[in-house]
């Protein structure tokens, strides 16, 4: 039963989800995060189909991601990260699930690094424990300026890739500079959540 639950949760990495793009006030998390902790940001500018956001410095627990057509690699990566927050760490600490589940997707060849999957480390965990799995590691992302394209519905890897292509095209049309060596996909909902699903693709602004 536990394996089935983990596998179901693993689909969270594939199925993102909500259309709403509520702008958070200072010290307030976005509404699309619902009851989960998530990175906070300030809206720099809202365009017709995307947003420019300034994100806070964030901490993540990350693992490698093997890409394959059926998504088995995503499930394996999710299970490693889920095990970490479920107590497979140096302190045996259980950590609340957060959003989004983020996947780093290199675009250029040779690629700008390998694909990865990450969970956001919640604000309440000041000193996150070290992972006991050698394939899992902690990392810190500095404050960053990000172009974000939100979209709704159930999303798979193909959907994220197409939305990333659209965002890149829109940014180039407006003459906005961004790092096109990779994009990140962000999923905010579990598979059983049907309504108001929220997905995003991110490019780092230059």
CB 155 within 8 A of CB 71: no
Higher pLDDT, 191 or 18: 191
Which distant-in-sequence residues (6+ apart) come within 8 Å of 156 by Cβ? Answer: 14, 15, 71
Rounded to 5 degrees, φ, ψ at 17 are -175, -160
pLDDT digits (tens, 9 = 90+) for 108-160: 876 767 999 999 999 999 999 999 999 999 999 999 999 999 999 999 899 99
Residues in the chain, how many? 206
State residue 10's pLDDT score: 45
pLDDT digits (tens, 9 = 90+) for 63-79: 999 987 667 889 999 99
What is 2-204's CATH topology? Answer: Multidrug-efflux Transporter 1 Regulator Bmrr; Chain A (3.20.80)
Average pLDDT over the chain, rounded to whole? Answer: 88
In which band, very low, low, confident or very high, does the pLDDT at 21 lie, cut at 50, 70 and 90?
very low
pLDDT digits (tens, 9 = 90+) for 91-114: 999 999 999 999 999 998 767 679
- The domain ranges of the chain are 2-204
Alpha-carbon span 171 to 184, nearest angstrom: 15
Record the tokens describing residue 159, joined without a space.
Answer: 């959907």
State residue 31's pLDDT score: 93
pLDDT over threshold 70, residue 44: yes
State residue 24's pLDDT score: 59
pLDDT over threshold 90, residue 86: yes
State residue 113's pLDDT score: 76
pLDDT over threshold 90, residue 174: yes
Q: What kind and span of H or E run contains 84?
A: helix 72-85
DSSP letters for 60-80: EEEEE----TT-HHHHHHHHH
CB 164 within 8 A of CB 183: yes
Higher pLDDT, 8 or 147: 147
State residue 29's pLDDT score: 86
State residue 112's pLDDT score: 65
Taking residues 36-60, what's their average pLDDT? 97
State residue 71's pLDDT score: 76
């Amino acid at each position: 039963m536990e394996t089935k639950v983990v596998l179901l949760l693993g689909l969270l990495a594939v199925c993102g989800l909500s259309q709403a793009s509520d702008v958070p006030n200072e010290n307030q998390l976005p509404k699309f995060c619902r009851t989960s902790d998530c990175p906070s940001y300030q809206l720099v500018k809202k365009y017709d189909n995307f947003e420019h956001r300034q994100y806070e410095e964030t901490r993540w627990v990350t693992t490698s991601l093997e890409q394959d057509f059926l998504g088995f690699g995503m499930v394996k990566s999710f299970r490693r990260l889920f095990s970490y927050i479920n107590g497979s760490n140096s302190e045996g600490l259980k950590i609340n699930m957060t959003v989004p589940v983020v996947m780093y997707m290199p675009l250029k060849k040779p690629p700008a690094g390998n694909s990865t999957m990450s969970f956001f480390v919640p604000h309440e965990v000041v000193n996150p424990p070290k992972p006991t799995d050698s394939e899992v590691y902690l990392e810190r992302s500095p404050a960053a300026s990000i172009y974000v394209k939100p979209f709704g519905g159930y999303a798979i890897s193909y959907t994220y890739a197409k939305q990333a292509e659209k965002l890149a095209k829109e940014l180039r049309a407006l003459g906005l500079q961004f790092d096109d060596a990779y994009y990140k996909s962000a999923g905010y909902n579990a598979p059983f959540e049907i309504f108001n699903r929220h997905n995003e693709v991110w490019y780092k602004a230059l």
